[in-house]
Amino acid sequence: MKVKEVEFKLKTFEQDKLKLQKLVSELDALKPQDFVDFTKNDVYVKKTRELKHLINDHELRLKEIEEVNKEVVRSLAEQDMENSVDLLQIKAQTLGEQLAEAKKHLTLISTSGEEMDGNISNPEEEEFIEALKNEMPDVFDNIENTELLLNEIEKLVQEVKKTLDVDIMTDL
């Protein structure tokens, strides 16, 4: 709606610009002797004054168009932000679900490893159990950190949706 308003105003502006151009050309074509011809120079004084008022009027209208245009740009930016936030939220939720699934499986593996500890029958199993013991704490730490990050993302998503704050969006 607003975009159409800007387009309409700009179109009207272009038409008016031609009228103003015509008036400027008309005055520009006058010769110095016309300015001291007191039978008609009152008309030129009047036209010059009217041209000033028209230009001032157009300056004001242009400012109005700029304001509407700013509003349009702002609305579009907000709409873009909302869409991006929605996408980010979905992505974060999907990641959260995948992470929970992975955590569940890794917990099973880790528990099995713990149960197998002391009941190993060959060096490969021993190597596997050792590796599990060494690496699983880091893996679970990473999972925990990622969960915290995903929680933080969810909070920011809610905040951006509420405030449409560009700075928060940038943090996100």
Positions touching other proteins (CB under 8 A) are: 10, 13-14, 17, 20-21, 24, 27-28, 30, 32, 35-36, 38-39, 41-42, 44-46, 48-49, 51-52, 55, 58-59, 62
Q: How far is the CB of 161 from other proteins (least distance, A)?
A: 37
Instruction: Considering the complex, state which of residue 59 and residue 138 has its C-beta at the smaller distance from other proteins.
Output: 59
Asked whether 153 and 88 are in contact (CB, 8 A), the reply is: yes
What distance in Å separates the CA atoms of residue 143 and residue 60, rounded to the nearest whole number? 59
Asked whether 153 and 172 are in contact (CB, 8 A), the reply is: yes
Asked whether 44 and 27 are in contact (CB, 8 A), the reply is: yes
Instruction: Considering the complex, state which of residue 45 and residue 108 has its C-beta at the smaller distance from other proteins.
Output: 45
Closest CA to 26 of 57, 52, 56, 51: 51
Closest CA to 47 of 70, 75, 19: 19
What distance in Å separates the CA atoms of residue 75 and residue 163, rounded to the nearest whole number? 13
Q: How far is the CB of 40 from other proteins (least distance, A)?
A: 9
Q: How far is the CB of 7 from other proteins (least distance, A)?
A: 13
Instruction: Considering the complex, state which of residue 7 and residue 42 has its C-beta at the smaller distance from other proteins.
Output: 42
Neighbours of 156 (CB within 10 A): 19
Instruction: Considering the complex, state which of residue 30 and residue 88 has its C-beta at the smaller distance from other proteins.
Output: 30
Q: How far is the CB of 95 from other proteins (least distance, A)?
A: 48
* Structure tokens, 4: 């159409």
Instruction: Considering the complex, state which of residue 45 and residue 102 has its C-beta at the smaller distance from other proteins.
Output: 45
Q: How far is the CB of 96 from other proteins (least distance, A)?
A: 50
